[in-house]
Chains A and B, each alone.
Chain A
Amino acid sequence: MNFCFGKELLRICENEKIPISEAMLRREIHITGTDRGAARKIMERSYQVMKGAVKKAAENPRPSMGGLIGGEAAKMLARGQKTRPVCGAVLSRAAAYALGVMEVNASMGLIVAAPTAGSSGVIPGAFLAVQEEFGFSDEKMTDALFNTAAVGYLITRNATVSGAQSGCQAEVGAASAMAASALAEIMGASPDACLAAASSALSNMLGLVCDPIAGLVEVPCQKRNALGAANALVCAEMALSGIPELIPFDEMVDTLYHVGQRIPIELRETALGGVAASPTGQRLCSEIRSRG
């Protein structure tokens, strides 16, 4: 059992009457020869690493290697405890957790590339906030990670998840689409609606450039991960409400790829354009590099 496009995945889900997560798990067993227990165990560890990173940032914040970030998650969580966040509790926590994972990543802590290290905050942020809000089990969240993997696999296969190739739309955009689809599944959406959520999430991030100050995974990456988590929640909610996405997922993946090819090299992880090229971005860059 294998699939190469969203429409093939949806056909399998319909014929077998299974969710996307189950289709991806069956594919994994088929292509690698592993068994269900072993595959779930690896995913379970990944989820625990994600949770560990969120916890670490909340309880023991550390400055990043480049010194541009550190302590943002704790600040946002502290405000959320004191008062009502303007964006609501779930969204505020999702964003804070995403910021936190990026702090852990940037200070040489343990994370799960999902799909990349630069976008590793999005899925843990969205997942943990929703898990807490609705009281879901770790088992349910682990299963849902297979849904994220299905979407991420299709984007990797048919476009790219590399910022150097296609900009931030391919990294945080992909992570956001993966989370949107999985959240929709967790909340009871059909496989069709899951891919609609993923397609909307990609669409909302089309054209986003990759412009890290000093080439480091700190600024603007950290806040974009928070945005990716928020985008995932919004897109899942739209799909769950029955709002259609006019552009099918496979076409949106192609669009992502073609837009990526038109993003100039300065805006693809080279630190030569965008935020990195702003006067402040350049000043911070030379300060970091003069430290060696």
Chain B
Amino acid sequence: MKEISAFDVIGPVMIGPSSSHTAGALRIALLARKMFKPEIVRARFVLYGSFAETCSGHGIDKALTAGILGFEADDQRIPESFSYAREAGVGLEFSLDRETKDLHPNTADIYLTGRHGEKVLVRGVSLGGGRAEIRGIDGVEIKLSGDYYTIFIEHRDAPGIAAFITAKLSENHINIAFMRLYREGKGESAYTIIEADEEIPEAVVSDIEEHEHITSAILIR
């Protein structure tokens, strides 16, 4: 576990009212935006548990929208994020699911649509103190927090991909802190998440993307 910094205690500087519900919701949406390359034209949100119960009172809808627009948790535009979304041409839709019970109480599903009809479904949970974690992408369970320098790689489940990725990182002297692999099923879509202690150059990521079975590699800071 990472050491607790003075600024984990006195911080974050954020738009209220709740680090878990406002700053954490924003963080989920911000991570979702970073994991999706296309320009976003539409975002649909489904909120569960305490997120569904306290949505407007905690400004969760505004915070999620702000995250989709790429605002950080201390951005004073958050309260007006709906009008910024309109301006940016991003359609929004919110629904509250008060029935589903067996999820983490602060869970949001985010359905994103890109300019050319690309689609993704990202599930995230807020962990408290403004921290959040992505728990699923297109129905595949994953774990991604963005607390480290991270590469999010989407690829086909085929032999040699992990070896290819690690070789590229090793060539560039990047030490892997954590590496996790997920897949839908044998030979289908798969995801690899690499977390490193030091910054990963953009060039290494585009290098990784060259592989024929790798659909996309995205750097998440």
A106's contact among B17, B19, B20, B54, by CB below 8 Å, is which?
A: B17
B209 at the interface (CB under 8 A from A): no
A156's contact among B9, B23, B54, B79, by CB below 8 Å, is which?
A: B9
**List of B residues within 8 angstroms of A178 by Cβ:** 9
Q: Are A145 and B10 in contact (CB under 8 A)?
A: yes
Query: How many pairs of A and B residues are in contact by the CB < 8 Å rule?
Result: 135
**List of A residues within 8 angstroms of B59 by Cβ:** 65, 108
Distance (whole angstroms) from the CB of B23 to the closest CB of chain A: 7
**List of B residues within 8 angstroms of A46 by Cβ:** 7, 10-11, 13
Q: Are A215 and B50 in contact (CB under 8 A)?
A: yes
Q: Are B53 and A149 in contact (CB under 8 A)?
A: no
Mark A100-116 against chain B: 1 for CB-CB distance below 8 A, else 0.
00001111111111111
Give chain A interface residues in 238-292, CB to chain B under 8 Å: 271, 288-289, 291-292
Q: Are B9 and A149 in contact (CB under 8 A)?
A: yes
B40 at the interface (CB under 8 A from A): no
Q: Are A108 and B56 in contact (CB under 8 A)?
A: no
Distance (whole angstroms) from the CB of B88 to the closest CB of chain A: 20
B6's contact among A43, A111, A215, by CB below 8 Å, is which?
A: A43
Q: Are A117 and B6 in contact (CB under 8 A)?
A: no
Closest to A66 in B: B57
Q: Are B14 and A110 in contact (CB under 8 A)?
A: yes
B129's contact among A32, A105, A116, A153, by CB below 8 Å, is which?
A: A116
**List of B residues within 8 angstroms of A116 by Cβ:** 19, 129
Q: Are A164 and B128 in contact (CB under 8 A)?
A: yes
B215 at the interface (CB under 8 A from A): no
**List of B residues within 8 angstroms of A45 by Cβ:** 13
Q: Are B19 and A113 in contact (CB under 8 A)?
A: yes
Mark B1-43 against chain A: 1 for CB-CB distance below 8 A, else 0.
0011111111111111111101100000000000000000000
Q: Are A31 and B3 in contact (CB under 8 A)?
A: yes
**List of A residues within 8 angstroms of B55 by Cβ:** 292
CA distance A162 to B127 in the complex (A): 11
Distance (whole angstroms) from the CB of A115 to the closest CB of chain B: 5
Q: Are B7 and A42 in contact (CB under 8 A)?
A: yes
CB within 8 Å for A28 and B9 given contacts A108-B62, A113-B129, A216-B58: no
CB within 8 Å for A24 and B6 given contacts A66-B57, A288-B57: yes
A152 at the interface (CB under 8 A from B): yes
B83 at the interface (CB under 8 A from A): no
B76 at the interface (CB under 8 A from A): yes
Interface size bracket, B side: 35 or more
Distance (whole angstroms) from the CB of B199 to the closest CB of chain A: 14
Q: Are B57 and A114 in contact (CB under 8 A)?
A: no
B130 at the interface (CB under 8 A from A): yes
Chain A at the B interface: SS class? helix
CA distance A170 to B58 in the complex (A): 21
CA distance A84 to B94 in the complex (A): 50
**List of B residues within 8 angstroms of A108 by Cβ:** 15-17, 22, 59, 62, 78-79
CA distance A39 to B129 in the complex (A): 20
Distance (whole angstroms) from the CB of A139 to the closest CB of chain B: 16
Q: Are B10 and A148 in contact (CB under 8 A)?
A: yes
CB within 8 Å for A65 and B17 given contacts A31-B5, A145-B10: yes
Give chain A interface residues in 166-219, CB to chain B under 8 Å: 178, 214-218
Distance (whole angstroms) from the CB of A173 to the closest CB of chain B: 14
Q: Are A292 and B56 in contact (CB under 8 A)?
A: yes
Q: Are A110 and B15 in contact (CB under 8 A)?
A: yes
Distance (whole angstroms) from the CB of B75 to the closest CB of chain A: 9
**List of B residues within 8 angstroms of A106 by Cβ:** 16-17
B210 at the interface (CB under 8 A from A): no
Q: Are A149 and B129 in contact (CB under 8 A)?
A: no
Q: Are B16 and A105 in contact (CB under 8 A)?
A: yes
Distance (whole angstroms) from the CB of A253 to the closest CB of chain B: 14
**What are 24 contact pairs spanning A and B, CB under 8 A?**
A25-B6, A28-B6, A39-B6, A42-B7, A46-B10, A65-B57, A105-B16, A105-B17, A106-B16, A106-B17, A110-B16, A111-B13, A113-B11, A113-B13, A114-B9, A116-B19, A150-B6, A153-B8, A214-B57, A215-B50, A215-B58, A216-B17, A217-B16, A217-B58
Which residues of A are interface residues toward B (Cβ below 8 A)?
A: 2, 24-25, 27-28, 31-32, 39, 42-43, 45-46, 49, 64-66, 104-118, 120, 123, 145-146, 148-150, 152-153, 156-157, 161-162, 164, 178, 214-218, 271, 288-289, 291-292
Starting from the known contacts A113-B130, A118-B18, 5 additional A-B residue pairs (CB-CB under 8 Å) come to A64-B17, A105-B17, A113-B14, A149-B9, A153-B6
Nearest first, the 7 closest Cβ-Cβ pairs linking A and B are: A105-B16, A152-B9, A149-B6, A108-B79, A66-B57, A217-B17, A216-B57
